[in-house]
Structure 1
C-alpha cells in the first residue's frame, strides 16, 4: 500500500432504481484513482454499485432481468428503467452463460414454445421440462434454424430426450421427429382445453344464430357453460 500514490477521483454518473420513470435517479460515484510508484501504472477503485466501465447500476440490471421474465416488450422495460432497448438486450445477453453451451447433453424432457420479442417478432424458447430452466432462446423459429441448432448435438444427447411438450402445431412435431429418435410428443393441456372451449363456444353461437328455442338457454348463462 505504501507504493500507491493517490491521484484524485473520477466522478461517474450511475443510473439507479426509481419508482417513477419520469423522475430518473442518478448517483454521482467518486472513484479513487491511484498510481503505483514502482511500475507507474494507473488503476481505479471499483464499487459493487456498478460493474467496471458501466454506468448502469447492478440493481437496475436485476430489475430489468426480472422484467424480462414477464410477458412484456423490451421497449416498455427500457422506458420504465430509463435505459435504451440495446441495454435491455445486453442484460439478456449477459445471461447466455446460463444456457447449455455443450452439445453433448440434453435434458430428458423438453418443452417448446415461442414468444413475441424485439420488433414484435416471434422467438423460439426451449425449456427443461423438469426444472423449467431455459435451455436455449433463438432469435427465429424457422424450421431450418431449429434443425440446424439441434443438429449440432451429438446423437447420444438427442437420443436421451424422451418427451417434448408443445402446442398443437404440426410445425414443431416435424422438427421433433426429425431430431429426436426416442421422443414422445406431449400436447400441453392448456392448448387442449383452449381448443375444446373454442369449439364449444363456436357451436353455441351457431345454434343461437338460428333463433331456435334454445336461444335463451344458451345466451344468458354462457359463462356458466364455458
Structure 2
C-alpha cells in the first residue's frame, strides 16, 4: 500500500525500512528499574515454539525490544549481552505464571523481585469456575431446567460480587418468569450445586484480595484446611500457593501489571493480520517498533 501511494516499488519501501534499523538498536548498558515480559504468538517461522517475547518498561509502557524466541537458552543468551550493571539496576520483573522464567530471572537479575501478574492469577480461578459450571451442567444433562439455567447465567457466576445487582428485579425466563434480582438468581444456582457455591466463594475472595491488596486474605486463600474445594479449583489454589510471595510483591507495587503489555500484544496481532503474516523477523520487529511507543523514539524526542 505504501509503495502504491508513493508510486514506487515495494523493494524500495523495504530498503527504506531497513535503513532505519540502526535507529532501533538496543542500548546494552541500560535497562529500566521495572521490566515487564510477556510472550505472544509469532508463528513457527521465527520460533520453534511459535512464541516470541515482548519486553517493555513497566512504568512508561514503552517497548524495549521484540525477542524472537521465549525458551530459556535463547533468553539467557539475549540478556547476558546486557552489562552486569544494567541487569543489577532492574528492581522488579512482572511476568505471567510460566514456571521456566523464574530460574532465569533469579540468575540474570540478582536484585529483581518477581511480580506475578494479577490477571493471570485471577484467570486460574476464572477458568476453574467455568469448568465446574460446565461439569455440573453435564451432570444434570441437556434439556433439564438446571442445565439451561447454568448455561444462561454463566456471566453472572463470573461477575465481581460488588457489581451484582441486589435491588432491581426482572422476570426470568428460566425460573417461570419469576421476578428475581441477580443475587436471588445466584442463590437459586447455588441450590443446584454446593461445589459451585464453594468455588464461587473462593473466586470472589480472590477478587476481593486484589481489590484490598490484603495479605490476610491471601493467607486465608492458601490455607488448605479452610477450604473443601472441587478438584478444578484445588488446582488454582495450588498455583496461588506456589506463587504466594510473588503475589505479595504485587501488593507493594499494585500499578505494575502486564495489562499494558497485553495491549501491545493485541496491536501485534493486528499488525500480523493486516500484513497477512511476515516471513522476515527483522521486518516484523521493525514494523512493531515503528508502529508503537518505544524507548528509542522516547529518548530521541
| Cα distance between partner residues in 1 of 2:53 and 2:18 | 15
For structure 1, the residue ranges without an aligned partner over 5 or more in a row are: 1-14, 18-23, 28-54, 57-82
RMSD between superposed Cα atoms in Å: 3.1
Is 2:65 the counterpart of 1:130? Answer: no
Q: Specify the structure having the higher radius of gyration (Cα).
A: 1
Specify the SS of the correspondent of 2:93: strand
* Aligned CA distance change for structure 1 residues 113 and 93 (closer, same or farther; 3 Å): farther
Q: What is the rounded CA distance, in whole Å, between the counterparts of 2:81 and 2:113 in structure 1?
A: 21
Aligned to 2:113: 184
Counterpart check, 1:143 vs 2:72: yes
Deviations 1:130-149 (A, max 9, x none): 11112122222221111112
Task: Name the TM-score, length of structure 1 as normaliser.
Answer: 0.56
Matching of residue 223 in structure 1 with residue 149 in structure 2: no
Residues in 1 aligned to 2:16 and 2:153: alpha-carbon distance in whole angstroms: 50
TM-score of the two chains, using structure 2 as the length reference: 0.43
Bigger fraction of residues in strand: 1
Task: Report if aligned partners of 2:2, 2:13 keep a CA contact under 8 Å in 1.
Answer: no
Aligned position for 1:113: 38
2:20 corresponding residue in structure 1: 94
Separation of aligned partners in 1, 2:102 and 2:63: 20
Are 1:99 and 1:134, in contact at CA under 8 Å, matched by a contact in 2?
no
CA deviations 1:104-142 (Å, max 9, x no partner) are 221100011122235373222211111111212222222
User: Is contact 2:35–2:58 with CA below 8 Å preserved after alignment?
Assistant: yes
CA contact (8 A) 1:164 1:186 kept: yes
Residue 93 of structure 1 deviates from its aligned partner by 8.1
Question: Residues 174-205 of structure 1, C-alpha deviation per residue, up to 9 Å, x if partnerless?
Answer: 21111111111112222223222111100111
CA distance 1:116–1:216, shift in 2 (3 Å): closer
Q: Which residue of 1 aligns with 2:213?
A: none
In the alignment, is the contact (CA less than 8 A) between 1:124 and 1:140 conserved in 2? yes
In 2 relative to 1, CA 122–223 (structure 1 residues): closer, same or farther, beyond 3 Å? same
Q: Return the structure number with greater helix share.
A: 2
Closer, same or farther in 2 for the Cα pair 1:105/1:26, shift >3 Å?
closer
Change (3 A) 1:194 1:164: same
Instruction: Give the C-alpha shift of residue 219 in structure 1.
Output: 2.4
Q: Relative to structure 1, is the Cα distance of residues 159 and 125 closer, same or farther in structure 2, using a 3 angstrom cutoff?
A: same
Q: Is the 8 A contact 1:162 1:184 kept in 2?
A: yes
Q: Answer with 166-175 or 114-123: which moved more.
A: 114-123
Give the match's secondary structure for 2:70.
coil
